[in-house]
Each structure stands twice: as structure tokens, then as C-alpha cells.
Structure 1
Amino acid sequence: MNDGARHPVKALETTMEIVETLTELRSAPLREIAAVLEMNKSTVHNHLSTLREHEYVVKEGESYRLSLRFLTVGGILRNEIDLYEAAKPKVDDLADETGELVTLATHERGLGVVLYRAKGGNSVELNTHIGTQLPLHNSALGKAILGHLPDERIEAIIDHRGLPPGTPNTITDEGRMHEELERIAEQGWAYDDEERWRGLRCVAAPIRTEDGAVEGAVSLSTPKSRLANDDARAEYVDAVKNTANLVELSITYS
């Protein structure tokens, strides 16, 4: 445990809990925020007032929401990530070519983090957005990353995060998950059959650095009816692997 964890700043912890709660609720009145956090309203109100003064929270009527200032901060951070800069045009191209939803993600603290999404002409709608954090075990996008991490890192993530179910198809048995990840590492791509979202199938490929470390992954998501046979899956697998390879080349030689 580091020194910061041993000596947390309580006021800052409270502020961060309020921000995270507003992220989930989107917009809510003071009484609801306080109830969710199990804090008294005066404490929550003081923190919300400070966040408003610094323009990180907006009050609309009786409800509070996060301001677009978070978008500015997040956009600056995202644009500093080489993976995003290298991958964006390739992700756009893949979405245009296939008509599907294509997602780019990196990983941090044992979670996937969505960096970018591109919608093709026939793409599905998902409740993910830039900055969404996703478990690594229950989507093709996450498994493509997880399957290419060092064994000790995989073990640490599973020990810490577990394998909670997203749908009845989620792999929740640790032995089966290790078999799945070994297969992904061997073949260089991942697949999920309604493991995170019902009615959706996805394929994904890892994006790796020159020394083999996995930086992220790119995935293609489609209704299961459009990925109903081996030929269709092979076509989409080739497409995401090609896109991942182009991104890797761009990162290496930029």
C-alpha cells in the first residue's frame, strides 16, 4: 500500500464520490445524490457548491449534473495518447467499410477504457461513450487485451476484479477463462457471443507495441444475425486484424 492510500484526504474522497455518483445518475437533485451516498445533504451541498464555483458542475432547476469542462479535460488527455491519434482514421475506415460499430479501447487498472467509437451506416447503438470503463473478461474487446497480457498480470486482474456475469453467456469459471485466453493468445483475436450485450456478437484484435506489449484493442460489434456463420466471422476477423496491424505500423513508424 502506498503512502497516499494510508493517508487519504477525506474531503477530496467525498468530492470524488460525488463526481462518480453524478457520472452514474447523469442528473439528480441534492436529496437523491445525498441518499445514494448516504451522506447528509449539507455536506453534499457544500461539495457541489465548490464544484459549481470551479465550473465542474452545473445546476439546472433543482438538479445537478457534471459540466462539459470534464469533456475538455478528457479530450486533452485523450489527444495526448499516441494510440488514439494513430488509430482514429483506421477505425473510421473500418466503420465505413463494414457499416458496423467499431470501438477503440486501451486498458488501465485492470479495466478497458473506451477511447473512440465510429459508427457505420448500419451500426448498432450501445450505451458506451468515450471514457466508459469496461470489464476485460466479458467482451471481445476486453478479452483481446486480457489474452495478451503477461500471465501474472492476468492472474492479478482476475483476483481483483473477478469474473462477474454480464449475461448468461459470460464466462465466469476461472478455468474456462484461462482456456479462452490461451486460445485468444494463440490465434491473435477474440470473439464474444452475447457475453456482455444480449443480441450482439463482437470480434476484436489486440494492438501491440514493437516489443509485444498490448496497448489496447479494436473491436467490431454487430447484431448476432449478421455474424451467424463461420464465413461472416472470418471476414470480420480479417478486417479487425488488418486494422489493428495498420495501427501498430502507424505507432511504430510515426
Structure 2
Amino acid sequence: MSGNERSNRPVTTTETSIRILELLKANGRLSLAGLADEFEMARSTIHRHLLTLEDNDLVRRTDGEYHLGLRLLDFGMRARDRIDFYHAARPLVDRLASETDEKVWLVAKDGRFSVHLYKSYGDNPLETSARVGQRRYLHQLAAGKAILSQLPDEEVRDVLDHCGLPEQTEHTITERDELLGELDGIDERGYAFNRGESITGLNAVGAPIRDADGYPVGAISISGPANRVKGDLLREELPDKLLAAIDEIHIHLRYASNEEGGRPE
């Protein structure tokens, strides 16, 4: 085996620790026995992983059960703070929520997925299970489809080849040709729709945030119950407000970039 092949092999112990964290995230709390049931390895081995995670404050133990430690919040907050467009977009997200009285999400592209960075909402938000920090499949969301529409063709193929098109509701697009056709329309008009594709009874419109090179780094979506967010409101009014906010974000990012580079416009 060559040195390169050896260096490219995954570190099994690290993968095990990551899987433990994922299981605790999904289940809230688990006992050692419960965690061991998920792995084909000795309980003593799982216990050593847990002790290491606990010693580093990444996992806590309460009444014999393990749960995620708050130190992970520090990692997540620091990761979000390094994203330039998060700081530029946050006040615009708040403004959109105030103007529309609907829930507004800011998401980031993270590899082949999206991650919810920030939410704001008006007086009549639709409560859902979506939360800050959540990773989602791009094709299920208005914001995600907006991002996909701006990706190079080869990257879209990579996302679809690795992630597939899992069904979230009966309205989720699960056929590749159908999705690719919709992405062409999104690219032309500049925004995407979600009509019950992520949550039954929820409609949304999303538009991409692009960096100075035109690459989609994130998106904003406005969502609400389908019996309220429909017709001209969904097709025209919300997209107009959304695109205006996106334009302001792009101007801010270009200005910040020019300031850093010493090239005033």
C-alpha cells in the first residue's frame, strides 16, 4: 500500500466518535447499553470513546445516560460566525420577517447539503420542526433548490449521485429529470418555490446568495402555511421582496470585498 493510499484511509476511531455524537443528537439521551446496541463492537470499546468525549466536555452523563455537551455549541457558533454573508444577511432576514409576518430562514451551502443558520419571524409564523443548525437535503427546500440552480452541472450531478432524491412528503421531487427541468426555470427567474415538498401544508419561496464569483454560498427563504402563502403573494409579492433583500446583501458583500482589496467603486 502506498503512503498516499494509507493517508487517505478514514480513521475508524474518529468515525466511531462522530457516530456516537450523531446518535446522541438524534436520540437526546442514551445509555451505554443503548449505544452499544448500535455498534458491532465490545461495550468496553464504546465506553472508552464515551470517556474520551466526556473528558473533553463534548458529552455529558446524567443519571447513567449520555447526552451532548454544551461545548459543541461553542464550535457551532464559531463556525457560523466565520461566514461572511451571515453577518450581511441577518438584518435583511429580520426585515423580511417584519415586512411579511412570515418565517424567514437563512441557510448556508455545506458540501452537498444545506444548514439552517438563522431564522426570524413575524406575528403569524408557522411552527415546524426546523431548527437552527439542522442539515437538510437541497432538493427538498426552496432555498436548497435555489442553491442547486446556480451550481455547475458537474456539481449538481455529484450532489444527486451521492444524496439521491429522498422523499420527505408526497410532493417532494424524486425524479432527476423533473428536478433538472425545474432548476432551469429557477435559474431563469432567480427564485425557487417549495409547495409542500418539505412539510405538507407549507409553501415557500427561496433565492440564492452568491459570492463575488457568482457561486451560491447560501440562500434565504420565506415560508408560511399554504392557505395563506399562495396566489400572487407567493408568485409575485414575496419574490419581489426577497430579491430586493438579496440585491442588498450582494451589494454589501461586494463593497466589503472592494474595501479589503483597496479597490473602491
Fold equivalence (TM over 0.5) = yes
Distance 1:106 1:250 in 2: 17
Q: How high is the TM-score relative to the length of structure 1?
A: 0.94
Tell me the equivalent position of 2:183.
181
1:168-207 superposed matches below 5 A = 168-207=170-209
RMSD of aligned alpha carbons:
1.6
Q: Deviations over 1:212-234 (max 9, x none)?
A: 21111000110001123134431
Structure 1 residues 3 and 108: alpha-carbon distance in aligned structure 2, compared to 1, 3 A threshold: farther
Aligned: 1:141 with 2:140: no
Q: Deviations over 1:188-210 (max 9, x none)?
A: 00001100111100100111123
Does structure 1 conserve the Cα–Cα contact (< 8 Å) formed by 2:146 and 2:208?
yes
Report the alpha carbon displacement of residue 8 of structure 1 after superposing the two structures with TM: 2.2
For residue 260 of structure 2, what is the aligned residue in structure 1? none
Structure 1: runs of 5+ lacking an equivalent: none
Q: Is the 8 A contact 1:141 1:190 kept in 2?
A: yes
Matches within 5 A, 1:1-254: 3=5, 6-254=8-256
Deviations 1:169-199 (A, max 9, x none): 0111111111000000000000011001111
In the alignment, the residues of structure 1 paired with residue 174 and residue 227 of structure 2 have an alpha-carbon distance, to the nearest angstrom, of 25
Indicate if the aligned counterparts of 1:227 and 1:233 stay in contact, CA closer than 8 A: no
Name the SS for the 2:140 alignment partner: coil
Structure 1 178/124 Cα, relative in aligned 2: closer, same or farther at 3 Å?
A: same
Contact kept? 1:204, 1:241, Cα under 8 Å: no
User: Quick check: 2:206–2:222 contact (8 Å CA) kept in 1?
Assistant: yes
User: Are residues 40 and 127 of structure 1, via their aligned partners in 2, closer, same or farther at CA, if it must alter by over 3 Å?
Assistant: farther
In structure 2, C-alpha distance between the alignment counterparts of 1:232 and 1:181, rounded to whole Å: 18
What percentage of residue pairs aligned between the two structures are identical?
38
Greater C-alpha Rg:
2
| Cα shift readout 1:146-172 (whole Å, capped 9, x = no counterpart) | 011111111111111111111110111
Distance in 2 of aligned mates of 1:5 and 1:36: 28
Question: Which segment drifts farther, 4-13 or 108-117?
Answer: 4-13
